[in-house]
Amino acid sequence: MAEQKSITTAAPPCELKIRPAGSTEHSWCKAVPGGTGITVLALLLLKSPDISLLQNALHKLQNSYPILKSQLHYESTTNSYSYIIPSTSHLQIQPFDLSSTDQILRHIRIPNLSDFHLILEHEINCNPWASASSSSGIDHKLQILNPSLNIATSLDSDTDVFFTSIYQLNDEKSVLTLRIHTSICDRAASLALLRKLLELMSEEDGEGAELELGENVEVGLGIEEYIPTGKANKPFWVRGIDMVGYGLNSLRFSNLKFMDSESTRGSQVVKLQLNKEDTDHILDGCKTRGIKLCGLLAAAGLIAAHSSKGLNENQWEKYAIVTLINCRSILDPVLSPDFPGFYHSAILNTHDVKGGDDLWELAKRSYTSFANSKNNNKHFSDMGDLNFLMCRAIDNPGLTPSSSLRTSLISVFEDPVIGTSSTVHEEIGLEDFIGCASVHGVGPSIAIFDTIRDGKLDCACVYPFPLHTREQMQEFIGEMKRILVDW
């Protein structure tokens, strides 16, 4: 039997705990200052929450999940990161009244986009972890126009990993945002956090059942510490060959057309939404063919990308797809589904695409390629290689086409988020919510955050602008939707 790895327990109330970042966490700590990995959960509320009650609920969560109250510390002498975890929560909600919210929206308002959508984009472009020398972070001119942008001048000082704001849209509606450093909270953890917060908010309003958070959840180690024995093994010469292969292949990847590769970048969002009938149709098609939705979304993106270039039907192009896997259930020891931290891994596959490819055949090929890689443990054995290459791209943007920092066409998650409306949502007045993360540093041209909500597919598709424009991506996502619905 494999030796069980220990988990560092939460600090006693009188202690200040320091936990070094693991290898994957280190990669995210390098990526976030440049603009990739700012996770945001945005909630549209029909009634304004009581800030003191909400802050109390957030303190309960942070004290039960200590990594969420940590500060990120960078040690320049050793080029290393660590999490400093205090004994108690000190989070303060930042409120924006009607006037302050209007001042923010005045500079970013766009026809046909809701204020809720624009607040989401505003939040994923607020980067408190950005260094002053970052060449690909948020445009600092926006801070002059928009003093609410919280931009750190350096990572030499300790920075919180969790920020909360409330934006008042009108006398009734408001937007609650949670902005979190991805290294300590991946998609699975952030959605679990959201679910528990909604339950606590309901409890605080006096209308929900008592929520038992139980004992403080332990502070986990980096994902590398929990990989089952032998799963990450790779002979030295094989690792060398794979590294060379990844590097050479990346020079052959095709990309969407870059519209502006020189200007300072941010992240924007386009939605891909299907009705229940169309969603049932594509899910039934996936089930019949023994594939997952991620394979179908990747295939639709590949076909749309080739089509967008107006190429001859027989002209082939090679694209890269990154699939993200929630590893909690396959680690040693197994972690609970809502265990806080970053416990996703990635598999990179390449696909040759030409005009006229059949959607379902390409989806089957895409998913099979991913599944075979996973069966061969490449999500563990290639973890260090992909982290190294990501950091190389961050340090040397010129190694990527047009210094775009694009490492793939699309990133997808192995499994979608399944959500349903509940009485808790009604009690707190939750009308809508979106969860996604920024990608304007290193990353894909499109990151798809897919949710099946009340039986309907609802995807937040995040892309770097002005490397890609909103008009370009609306057309691209529109073509993806047409392919999914009409095929």
178-212: per-residue pLDDT in tens?
A: 999 999 999 999 999 999 999 888 876 544 434 44
What pLDDT score does 207 carry? 45
Alpha-carbon distances of 374 from 23, 228, 377, rounded to whole Å: 20, 14, 5
What pLDDT score does 2 carry? 41
Token pair, residue 156, equals 């030499």
What pLDDT score does 139 carry? 38
Mean pLDDT across 338-352: 94
Mean pLDDT across 343-353: 95
Mean pLDDT across 262-269: 96
Kindly give, in sequence order, each residue whose CB lies less than 8 Å from that of residue 47, ignoring residues fewer than 6 positions away. Answer: 172, 174, 428, 429
The helix or strand, by DSSP H or E, that contains position 20, with its residue range, turns out to be strand 17-20
Residue 421 banded pLDDT, cuts 50, 70, 90: confident
DSSP letter assigned to residue 246? H
What pLDDT score does 147 carry? 36
What pLDDT score does 152 carry? 39
Mean pLDDT across 474-480: 97
- In this structure, the number of other CB atoms found within 10 A of the CB of residue 254 comes to 18
Is residue 146 pLDDT above 60, yes or no?
no
The percentage of the chain sitting over the pLDDT mark of 90, rounded to a whole number, equals 69
Average pLDDT, the chain: 87
Token pair, residue 348, equals 């990179």
What pLDDT score does 438 carry? 98
Residue 458 banded pLDDT, cuts 50, 70, 90: very high
Q: What whole-number distance in Å separates Cα of residue 283 and Cα of residue 74? A: 45
∠ CA 209-212-213 to the nearest 5 degrees? 135
Long-range contacts from 212-218, C-beta under 8 angstroms, 24+ separation: 213/60, 213/61, 213/64, 214/64, 216/10, 216/63, 216/64, 216/65, 216/66, 217/10, 217/64, 217/65, 217/66, 217/339, 217/340, 218/7, 218/8, 218/9, 218/10
Q: What whole-number distance in Å separates Cα of residue 442 and Cα of residue 416? A: 23
Is residue 244 pLDDT above 90, yes or no?
no
The model carries a pTM of 0.89
Of residues 106 and 251, the one with the higher pLDDT is 106
What pLDDT score does 412 carry? 98
CB 54 within 8 A of CB 441: no
Residue 214 banded pLDDT, cuts 50, 70, 90: very low
Query: Which stretch of 62-71, 87-96, 232-241, 398-407 has the lowest confidence by average pLDDT?
Result: 232-241
Residue entry with tokens 């989806």? 363
Mean pLDDT across 255-281: 96
Is residue 447 pLDDT above 70, yes or no?
yes
What pLDDT score does 180 carry? 97
Mean pLDDT across 38-62: 93
Is residue 380 pLDDT above 90, yes or no?
yes
Q: What whole-number distance in Å separates Cα of residue 375 and Cα of residue 339? A: 24
CB 298 within 8 A of CB 385: no
